[in-house]
Chain A
């Protein structure tokens, strides 16, 4: 029994090392928790990038995921079966920014006044501030970006929950760190 556990531990560790995950794990609390859930992915990413739950506080997800709210989801109908709605909501709430120790989730939570419930990630003061000086040519008038809702267009390490400057590549323009007018 002990042997098996030992073997499993070794295999588990070496496969992680093999995948080059050691460094990611060292810094794993610096971005936003990179969690995904099959049902959430199926239910939401058919229309848009499935944002990590750690980008909004609990109260925001709760409001967004109300049945009536889903029927008019920023002008789109995003209704779900009640069973699915409850499961997706649970995933979002369980991993919401205010349950997270990740650095950027903490900053997100701290930037929102307690009596405010943002419904858009782009309304979060911390995220708003981070993107406020971006010229239209990079986003709005950039056919490969179009809008800030498409996080993954520029944040190339977003699937790992990382948003650092050196992972930002603006389509048609290049790496953020090499652009002049930042």
Chain B
């Protein structure tokens, strides 16, 4: 009897708690964790300047039938990090790349930028490969994060 009540209560409460805790983290809160990880992998002295330079570095991309010929981070994210970007193919808006930016997911939840390590990992992998045809080095990733962090 008691167990049933507890279970019912737990079921009722779980989604509420999940929602609040899920995205309570502040924008940029996952950056230190990622930087520590890159340092453990041998990188050091992250440079916002180097990150900024690489941000607009254009890589030629040749493929028959492909609509985007030259690729850089700014192809989709733009050159002004305080403004939203736009997915080059789908046109979907991308939240600004500064730690104070917030994006809204499909469920209507507010997700602060760089608040989830998993997401940073996922997108560095996808986007470095898309842009440079290879994964970024820990040093490069740290430089990018330092660049984003400099807008704090």
> Which A positions have Cβ atoms within 8 angstroms of B?
1, 4, 8, 36, 41-42, 45-48, 50, 71, 74-81, 146-147, 149-150
Secondary structure dominating the interface of A: loop
In angstroms, Cα B106 to Cα A47, docked, is 11
Q: Given the known A-B contacts A1-B4, A8-B8, A45-B106, are A77 and B129 also in contact in the complex, defined by CB atoms under 8 Å? A: yes
In angstroms, Cα B91 to Cα A48, docked, is 9
Let me know if B5 is at the binding interface, CB within 8 A: yes
Q: Evaluate contact between A81 and B122: CB separation under 8 angstroms.
A: yes
- Chain A residues closer than 8 Å to B87, beta-carbon distance: 47
> Which residue on chain A has the smallest CB distance to residue B4?
A4
Let me know if B130 is at the binding interface, CB within 8 A: yes
> Which residue on chain B has the smallest CB distance to residue A74?
B89
In angstroms, Cα B91 to Cα A76, docked, is 13
- Chain B residues closer than 8 Å to A42, beta-carbon distance: 105, 119
- Chain A residues closer than 8 Å to B92, beta-carbon distance: 46-48
Q: Evaluate contact between A76 and B122: CB separation under 8 angstroms.
A: no
The CB with the most chain A CB atoms within 10 A, among B4, B106, B125, B130, is that of B106
Q: Evaluate contact between A45 and B122: CB separation under 8 angstroms.
A: no
> Which residue on chain B has the smallest CB distance to residue A44?
B106
Q: Evaluate contact between A79 and B126: CB separation under 8 angstroms.
A: yes
Let me know if B100 is at the binding interface, CB within 8 A: no
Binary A-proximity of B51-85 (CB < 8 A = 1, otherwise 0)? 00000000000010010000000000000000000
- Chain A residues closer than 8 Å to B8, beta-carbon distance: 4, 8
* Number of A-B residue pairs with CB-CB distance less than 8 Å in the complex they form: 48
B59 CB to closest chain A CB, in angstroms? 14
In angstroms, Cα B103 to Cα A42, docked, is 12
Instruction: Given contact pairs A4-B1, A77-B125, A79-B125, enumerate 19 new A-B contacts (beta carbons under 8 Å).
Output: A1-B4, A4-B5, A41-B105, A41-B106, A42-B105, A47-B87, A47-B90, A47-B92, A48-B90, A50-B106, A75-B63, A75-B89, A77-B126, A77-B127, A78-B126, A80-B122, A81-B118, A149-B90, A150-B91
A46 CB to closest chain B CB, in angstroms? 8
In angstroms, Cα B118 to Cα A76, docked, is 19
> Which residue on chain A has the smallest CB distance to residue B68?
A75
- Chain B residues closer than 8 Å to A79, beta-carbon distance: 122, 125-126, 129
Q: Evaluate contact between A41 and B129: CB separation under 8 angstroms.
A: no
> Which residue on chain B has the smallest CB distance to residue A71?
B129
Q: Given the known A-B contacts A8-B8, A50-B106, A75-B66, are A1 and B1 also in contact in the complex, defined by CB atoms under 8 Å? A: yes
- Chain A residues closer than 8 Å to B127, beta-carbon distance: 77
- Chain A residues closer than 8 Å to B91, beta-carbon distance: 146, 150
